[in-house]
Amino acid sequence: MKKNLFKVLATLVVALFATFSLSACSSQGPIDMSSVSAVIDVRTPAETAEGYLEGALLIDWQGPDFGTEIEKLDKAANYVIYCRSGNRAGQAIEAMKGLGFTGTLTNAGGLDDAASVTGLPIVF
Protein backbone atom coordinates (compact mmCIF):
# COMPACT_ATOMS: atom_id res chain seq x y z
CA MET A 1 0.00 0.00 0.00
CA LYS A 2 2.72 2.49 0.96
CA LYS A 3 4.74 1.60 -2.15
CA ASN A 4 1.72 2.30 -4.38
CA LEU A 5 1.11 5.64 -2.67
CA PHE A 6 4.78 6.53 -3.15
CA LYS A 7 4.57 5.66 -6.86
CA VAL A 8 1.46 7.81 -7.29
CA LEU A 9 3.07 10.76 -5.50
CA ALA A 10 6.29 10.38 -7.49
CA THR A 11 4.30 10.32 -10.74
CA LEU A 12 2.43 13.48 -9.73
CA VAL A 13 5.65 15.29 -8.87
CA VAL A 14 7.19 14.34 -12.23
CA ALA A 15 4.03 15.45 -14.07
CA LEU A 16 3.96 18.79 -12.25
CA PHE A 17 7.65 19.38 -12.93
CA ALA A 18 7.17 18.61 -16.63
CA THR A 19 4.18 20.95 -16.84
CA PHE A 20 6.00 23.85 -15.23
CA SER A 21 9.23 23.29 -17.13
CA LEU A 22 7.40 23.27 -20.47
CA SER A 23 5.42 26.43 -19.87
CA ALA A 24 6.95 29.81 -20.49
CA CYS A 25 7.49 32.38 -17.79
CA SER A 26 5.32 35.43 -18.22
CA SER A 27 8.18 37.52 -16.81
CA GLN A 28 10.38 36.68 -19.79
CA GLY A 29 12.00 39.82 -21.17
CA PRO A 30 11.86 41.11 -24.74
CA ILE A 31 13.32 38.91 -27.45
CA ASP A 32 15.89 40.30 -29.89
CA MET A 33 13.94 39.64 -33.07
CA SER A 34 16.91 40.52 -35.31
CA SER A 35 18.32 37.02 -34.74
CA VAL A 36 15.00 35.17 -35.15
CA SER A 37 14.26 33.52 -38.49
CA ALA A 38 10.58 32.92 -37.82
CA VAL A 39 7.86 32.93 -35.21
CA ILE A 40 5.85 29.71 -35.14
CA ASP A 41 2.29 29.40 -33.82
CA VAL A 42 1.63 25.73 -33.00
CA ARG A 43 -2.05 26.15 -32.10
CA THR A 44 -4.95 24.60 -34.00
CA PRO A 45 -6.59 26.36 -36.97
CA ALA A 46 -9.64 27.11 -34.78
CA GLU A 47 -7.38 28.85 -32.26
CA THR A 48 -5.41 30.82 -34.86
CA ALA A 49 -8.69 31.99 -36.43
CA GLU A 50 -9.16 34.01 -33.22
CA GLY A 51 -5.86 35.83 -33.77
CA TYR A 52 -2.15 35.15 -34.25
CA LEU A 53 1.08 37.12 -34.40
CA GLU A 54 1.66 39.03 -37.61
CA GLY A 55 3.93 37.03 -39.92
CA ALA A 56 3.86 33.88 -37.79
CA LEU A 57 4.09 30.49 -39.43
CA LEU A 58 0.94 28.56 -38.52
CA ILE A 59 2.01 24.95 -37.96
CA ASP A 60 -0.49 22.98 -35.87
CA TRP A 61 1.41 20.83 -33.33
CA GLN A 62 -1.53 18.41 -33.25
CA GLY A 63 -1.97 18.33 -37.03
CA PRO A 64 -0.82 15.49 -39.28
CA ASP A 65 1.59 17.75 -41.21
CA PHE A 66 3.56 19.12 -38.25
CA GLY A 67 6.69 17.03 -38.91
CA THR A 68 6.59 17.63 -42.67
CA GLU A 69 6.21 21.40 -42.27
CA ILE A 70 8.87 21.69 -39.55
CA GLU A 71 11.34 19.68 -41.64
CA LYS A 72 11.17 22.40 -44.32
CA LEU A 73 12.75 24.93 -41.93
CA ASP A 74 16.45 25.72 -41.51
CA LYS A 75 17.59 23.56 -38.59
CA ALA A 76 20.39 25.96 -37.63
CA ALA A 77 18.13 29.02 -37.43
CA ASN A 78 16.56 30.60 -34.34
CA TYR A 79 12.81 30.34 -33.77
CA VAL A 80 10.23 31.67 -31.34
CA ILE A 81 7.41 29.20 -30.72
CA TYR A 82 4.10 29.90 -28.96
CA CYS A 83 0.70 28.30 -28.36
CA ARG A 84 -2.07 28.96 -25.85
CA SER A 85 -0.14 28.41 -22.62
CA GLY A 86 3.38 27.35 -23.55
CA ASN A 87 2.76 23.62 -23.09
CA ARG A 88 2.41 22.64 -26.77
CA ALA A 89 5.19 25.08 -27.66
CA GLY A 90 7.44 23.21 -25.22
CA GLN A 91 6.46 19.88 -26.75
CA ALA A 92 7.08 21.24 -30.25
CA ILE A 93 10.50 22.51 -29.18
CA GLU A 94 11.43 19.08 -27.82
CA ALA A 95 10.27 17.48 -31.10
CA MET A 96 12.31 20.00 -33.09
CA LYS A 97 15.41 19.23 -31.03
CA GLY A 98 14.78 15.55 -31.72
CA LEU A 99 14.70 16.34 -35.45
CA GLY A 100 18.13 17.96 -35.21
CA PHE A 101 17.33 21.65 -34.78
CA THR A 102 20.40 23.33 -33.31
CA GLY A 103 19.46 27.02 -33.27
CA THR A 104 17.87 28.79 -30.33
CA LEU A 105 14.28 27.64 -29.81
CA THR A 106 12.40 30.03 -27.53
CA ASN A 107 9.12 29.15 -25.86
CA ALA A 108 7.19 32.44 -25.80
CA GLY A 109 4.21 30.99 -23.93
CA GLY A 110 0.73 32.04 -24.98
CA LEU A 111 -0.40 34.50 -27.64
CA ASP A 112 -0.46 37.56 -25.40
CA ASP A 113 2.91 36.71 -23.84
CA ALA A 114 4.39 36.10 -27.29
CA ALA A 115 3.07 39.46 -28.53
CA SER A 116 4.60 41.16 -25.51
CA VAL A 117 8.08 39.63 -25.80
CA THR A 118 8.36 39.83 -29.60
CA GLY A 119 6.71 43.22 -30.08
CA LEU A 120 4.62 41.76 -32.92
CA PRO A 121 0.97 42.74 -33.24
CA ILE A 122 -1.88 40.24 -33.06
CA VAL A 123 -3.80 40.02 -36.34
CA PHE A 124 -7.15 38.43 -37.08
Q: Report the CATH number that the domain containing residue 94 is assigned in CATH.
A: 3.40.250.10
Show Cβ contacts of residue 58 under 8 Å, excluding neighbours closer than 6 positions: 41, 43, 45, 48, 52
Reference 24, options 95, 115, 124; nearest CA is 115
Model pTM score: 0.79
- The range of the structural domain enclosing residue 117 comes to 2-123
DSSP 77: S
Structural domain count, the chain? 1
Q: For each of the chain's 124 residues, which pLDDT tens digit applies?
A: 555 444 434 443 333 333 344 444 444 789 999 999 999 999 999 999 999 999 999 999 999 999 999 999 999 999 999 999 999 999 999 999 999 999 999 999 999 999 999 999 999 9
